[in-house]
Chain A
Amino acid sequence: MIALAGAGLILAGCASAVAEQTPPDGAPAGAITVFAAASLGGSFATIVEAFRQDNPGVTVTVSVGGSAGLATQIVEGAPADVFAAANPATMAAVRDAGLTSGAPVAFATNRLQIAVAPGNPGAVSALDDLADPERTIALCAVEVPCGAAAAELFAAAGITPSPDTYEQDVRAVLTKVELGEVDAGVVYVTDVREAGDAVEGIEVDSDPVGYPIAALSASSNPRAAEAFVDFVLSAAGRRILGEAGFGAP
């Protein structure tokens, strides 16, 4: 029964791919792969939907992960057409390897927030509480952008945090908060918003972090890659990112 339903789904998928209209002359077509920072997952899914409306000939696959890991994959030759990173430093690693076509452009900013489980069982109210060894705290590893940003935040506030775990990306921190395994984690404003009722956010006085995007020079489909970057930078892309909680660049 399940197998039949699965086969039906696959057939339906093929049918819609075949029925896809051919794009008008000169419009971008084909497939591209976008590597996007973990924190962009939700909003890029929406952006891809909207982009498809304007560019029916282009199939976009988004690969979401920790920015630093994605950057390493790109440098090692992963077939990506566009890279959207969660901080300028990670993008610089790709640009310095000569792999971006043109200069990366800032397209959004994000800020950090403390995420706590609903009801705030650990009674966390401010950044100081994250220095309390009695509380269970998750931070991003300093090797990934959210961890680097958190380290700056603590340094600026003169607080030495007392984390129990350094997670490999911001989503992993959020999961541990959602499951109630930690009293608090430091994540982005956008993650708190996307998690809905599963977590509560506590404002902290953090500097905005810029998110750069660039088409990649190794792309086999530069036209479609540029079109996607342009769409992210357009008013429509801006609006979607704004709704997710990202700030203007």
Chain B
Amino acid sequence: MARRRSSLAPVLWVPASLALGLLLLPLVALIVRAPWATLPSLLAQPAVAQALGLSLATAAAATSVCLLLGIPLALVLARSAAWPAVPRRLLRSLISVPLVLPPVVGGVALLLLLGRRGLIGEWLPFSIPFTPLAVVIAQVFVSMPFLVIAVEGALRASDRRIEVAAATLGATRLTVLRRITLPLVAPGIASGALLCFTRSLGEFGATITFAGSFPGTTQTLPISTYLLLQTDPDAAIALSLVLMVVSVAVLLGLRDRWVPGVLS
């Protein structure tokens, strides 16, 4: 009897399981070690709600900025085929730098640009560090590449002939963009925005370096988690749990509905 065999070599299951364990077991440990009995009282502290509220608000603002600025950048990149190879490749690599840069380095770079004595900051009539604006800027810096890469990938994969057809039928460039191009890449935009939001929510290094840490103003959930770990590990674990639940909920809840592209 002929049986269809899986194309996967069985030996691959071993490293694959190890990889899965490495990714998931730390989260299991967090759940096991969580102080479930005291969790409600730990999370009822006003400081927790404050940090969570600040994190959600700044991450949402950062995602909006990424959408506003990142989609045009992705469009420029996707249509750069006619450019000479060197500037095109250079631009594409530079955009990805924040992805691999240690976030603390990003924070230092932001200080040197926008700090009180920074290249630009020196000339500004107001000071950016230690404000919620600085938190948003740090989050945009680290999460923008996710959006640009997701949208650019979707644009490259989309069928340009539909746009051409629309143009031949008399649609203006803006109409083509609004009615054809953007709806075509909507899943890419959604997945990019999702990654932006969760990455912003977890941002720590660039934020504490550039924006500092003050309760209610710049102390986001990851920062208060880190500080609590020094004195009250139980509370820190509780906060970690909150961050994890929010992140996983965002990923799971939105993925199936909006994102058949990058994430699924």
Residues of A within 8 A of B (CB): 66, 68-69, 71-72, 136, 138, 141, 143-144, 163-168, 172, 176, 179-181
Contacts and interface: CB of A to CB of B under 8 A. Distances in A.
B227 A168 contact: yes
B214 interface: yes
B230 A68 contact: yes
Nearest to B211: A165
Given A164-B130, A165-B130, A165-B218, A176 B230 contact: no
Contacts of B115: 179-181
A71 B215 CA distance: 24
Q: How large is the interface on B (under 10, 10 to 19, 20 to 34, 35 or more residues)?
A: 20 to 34
Nearest to B217: A164
A176 B211 CA distance: 11
Interface of B: 111-112, 115-117, 127, 129-130, 208, 211-215, 218-219, 226-231, 233
Q: Closest 3 A-B residue pairs measured CB to CB?
A: A165-B212, A68-B230, A164-B130
A166 B219 contact: yes
A66 B111 CA distance: 22
A147 to B, nearest CB: 9
B227 A143 contact: yes
Given A165-B214, A165-B218, A167-B212, A180 B117 contact: yes
Nearest to B128: A181
B58 to A, nearest CB: 16
Given A165-B212, A168-B213, A143 B117 contact: no
A72 B227 CA distance: 11
B111 A179 contact: yes
A91 to B, nearest CB: 14
6 contacts: A68-B231, A71-B230, A72-B230, A144-B230, A179-B117, A180-B115
Given A68-B230, A71-B230, A136-B116, 7 more contacts: A141-B227, A165-B212, A165-B218, A166-B212, A166-B213, A167-B213, A168-B226
A144 B213 CA distance: 14
Nearest to B223: A168
A116 B192 CA distance: 43
B212 A138 contact: yes
Given A136-B130, A180-B117, A181-B115, A69 B214 contact: no
Contacts of B231: 68, 143
Nearest to B236: A72
Contact of A168 (B116, B208, B233): B208
Contacts of A176: 212
A164 B111 contact: no
Given A141-B213, A164-B214, A166-B219, A69 B229 contact: yes
Nearest to B228: A143
Contacts of A164: 130, 212, 214
A68 B130 CA distance: 24
B213 A143 contact: no
Contacts of A166: 212-215, 219, 227
Output the residue of B218, B219, B231 with the most chain A CB within 10 A.
B231
Contacts of B233: 72
Given A165-B130, A168-B208, A180-B115, A66 B213 contact: no
A23 B112 CA distance: 49
Contacts of B214: 163-166
